[in-house]
Amino acid sequence: MKTRLLLLAALFGLSFSAFVFADMKPEKMQMLRHANPMPNLMQVVFKKADELDLTEEQSKALKAWHGKNRPRVMKLVKQVHELEKKLAQEALEGASGAVLQQITNQIFQARQGIIETKLACRNHLHDVLKPEQWDKVVELYKASHK
């Protein structure tokens, strides 16, 4: 029972996450928000590059990082979505608790991969941006998520 409550609480909390890419279709954006509780700071950087006064070197470094890491995140997001559908289906079809727990663990592993990549993104932004640029990114993010 505790496992089920923990699972439901975790899934509920994660469903209100903010992880959105500017060029995503609405249904994909919804999947992304659901799969990840970390803020999507790279979206702010790309949308507000002029306000941030990025140098060409900074812009190249951020685009390269994004290009390298986005496919992995998208793959993990899709995996979360598919596993959640599988979990619901198996639960309705009478799968054992052990099977449901195994699927749940796979969901958590995929979410962990997403969160770790988003944390690495945040750290990369810290490395690439000047302190005042970082502060501006945080300010812009907070303003857009009130």
How many domains does the structure of the chain reveal?
1
Q: Helical H runs in the chain? A: 2-14, 26-35, 41-47, 49-52, 56-92, 97-128, 131-144
| Residue 10, pLDDT above cutoff 60 | no
Report the distance separating Cα 36 and Cα 71, nearest Å: 15
The structure tokens 């995140």 sit at 73
CA distance 38 to 36: 6
89-131 pLDDT, tens digit each? 999 999 999 999 999 999 999 999 999 999 999 999 999 999 9
29-56: pLDDT as tens digits = 555 556 678 899 999 999 999 999 999 9
> Domain of 107?
2-144
Q: Is residue 20 within 8 Å of residue 29, measured between CB atoms?
A: yes
Mean pLDDT throughout 70-79?
A: 95
Mean pLDDT of 59-83: 96
**Residue that is written with structure tokens 């500017």 in the block:** 22
DSSP state of 129: S
pLDDT at residue 21, as a whole number: 38
Q: Which of 69, 62, 84, 144 is nearest to 114 (CA)?
A: 69
